[in-house]
Structures are given as C-alpha cells and as structure tokens.
Amino acid sequence: MQDKFKREVTYLRVSVTERCNMRCFYCTPGEGDLPYHEGLPLEDLLRVVRVGTRVGIRKVRLTGGEPLVRRDIVPLVAGINEIAGIDDIAMTTNGCLFTQYAAALKKAGLKRVNISLDTLRRGRFKEITRVDKWNDVWKGIEAALSYGFNPVKLNMVVMKGINDDEIIDFAALTKLYPLHVRFIEMMPIGAGSKRADELLVTAAEIYTRLENVYGNLKPKGNVGGNGPARYWQIPGGKGTVGMISPLSGSFCPSCNRIRLTASGGLRPCLCNGEEFDLKPLLRKSSTGDQAIADLIAEAITQKPEGRGEGSFPTVTDKLMSQIGG
C-alpha cells in the first residue's frame, strides 16, 4: 500500500517489549527500573501481522527494548513465519542472550539479525550500558555467524569523545568476519536528546576517517533488507561498512516502514509523535479483521512526508526503548 507521497509501505517494525537487560545511558535516563509495557499478547501480535498483509506488509522486524527478554519470542517468530505473505523476519537485539536462542530462532524462521554493539572494550562497554556483558554479546555475534543468519549486522552508535576512536577497529572486523558494520549518527531521541549535538559524529566524518586509513572504499549495494544504510567495502573485506545518517542526511523519501510500539500504538514516523491506538480494537471480541486492517491503512495514509536533509526534530515524547529501537 502506498502512502500519500507514493511510498510503498511494506515493512512493520514490532516492539515486543519495552524491557531491556541493559541500561545504555543514551537510551535509559537512569539506572533504576522504569515502568514498562510488556508488549501485546502473542495472539494479538500475530493477528496484527497477519492482518497487516492485507495492506501490503511483507517484512517484519522484531525490536524492543530487548526482544529476547520476552519469554515467548521463539513461538512469536514461528507464528509470523507461518503467515502467508510475510517473506522476511529480522530482529534487532543487544546480543547478550542470543547464544542461548540462536538455534531455536533459526529453526523458527528468523532470517536476519542486527546486533547493537558500541565498543570493543569491556570496560567502556560497562560504562555505556551499565552492565558487564561484553563477553555475552560477542558470543552472541559468533553464534549468529555460526548458525548461518545472513546478513549479520553490527550497529554502532558513534559518539564523539566516547567511542569514536574505535571506528577503525570496528571496520577492521569486516576483514576478519563476514560482518556488516553500520555506523549510526547519534539521534536526539529520549534520554539521548540532551547530549546529541555534543556527541554527534557525522557520516561524512566517519567516511573520511575510513578513507584516510583504507583509501578508496568500494561502493556496495544494499545488504539485506530495505534499510537506510549506504554500504562500502574496505580492501580485503569479507563484509561491509555502512553509514546511517539520520541527522546529516535524510532517508524520508524512501522510508517504507511503520512501527508498532509495545504499548499497542501504530506510529507512522519515528520522529513524529502521532500514534494510532490498536488496543481498543484488539480488546473487543467483536472486532473483525477488517477494522484492524482499516486502522493500519489509516496509519500508512497519515505517514508524514518527513523532513529536509540535515534536519532532525528532537523526539521527547518517548524513549527509544518505548518507540522500538
């Protein structure tokens, strides 16, 4: 289904929980427990995805919070895999539980995985995430590769003065492993909004640093999925390096996604606070599938045009973990 600006919306990002087993400083405002939504029940999630195929949803990404803290995550993946019309199931995870779930998720039908990792240094990892689980994350990355998930992407939020001295180290991973390392500009969302300007390292600066070390980078096509990253290969690379530039660039003209938050809201745009509440429809036993399809279609229709290149509105209505990372 197309929105008002002729963009084909085929991609649903589903936040299955707001809970997370990390407390990254740019995502969570404090170290204490926060009120959270566990996520919609399994049956409701499967129903929304199934009905979504009526209006053109073909790809699903499971996010959080941390999706692997949800106990029924494997049955959820298996259930989505059985829905006719869904041709791609992916997950974004912090990776620290992925080792124990990798085999079951692969069997259930998960095809692709993005693992968030902002540093290769254990001490720094603890400072950023407020937990000591770097080894668990790395084992998760190794499990993703060994079980044949393809592609395996690493998401690194680059932050000036915090981890930007590791850009070359992350790029070097692509010479050792068939990994696709994506460097992401710091976004002014939720807890990270107050420091976004001071921490920003632009995609252009990241590219220059890579070029200074590796020379000309070889452009590559899209690496699985239809995301906003642009990809290159360093000499001798088995994988790729990618740039996601939500601040210095703009990928709104090609945006093909809507989001389902853990609290049951359909959010047409990450940067816009407008949401369409599905819960009242899901709670009524008399609600037919067409009513749900109509609301999903309305959310797609109301998807805003977006913003200009080089601009990004500060998002303060929710934390990133509440919107769906």
- 224-265 pLDDT, tens per residue? 776 788 999 999 999 999 999 887 877 788 889 999 999 999
For the cut 80, the answer to whether the pLDDT of residue 310 exceeds it is: no
Amino acid 187: pLDDT: 83
Give the residue extent of every domain in the chain.
11-323
Give percent above pLDDT 90 in the chain.
76
Beta strand 11-15 with 240-244: parallel, antiparallel or unpaired?
unpaired
Confidence of residue 222 (pLDDT cuts 50, 70, 90): confident
Return the minimum-mean-pLDDT range out of 30-44, 89-103, 179-193, 202-216: 30-44
pTM of the prediction?
0.94
For the cut 70, the answer to whether the pLDDT of residue 272 exceeds it is: yes
Judging by beta carbons within 10 Å of its beta carbon (0-12, 13-18, 19+), is residue 58 exposed, middle or buried?
A: middle
Paired with 92 in beta bridges are 114
Q: Measured between alpha carbons, how far is residue 22 from residues 118, 232, 262 in Å?
A: 13, 30, 17
Three-state DSSP class for residue 257: strand
- 142-166 pLDDT, tens per residue? 999 999 999 999 999 999 999 999 9
Would you state the CATH architecture of domain 11-323?
Answer: Alpha-Beta Barrel (3.20)
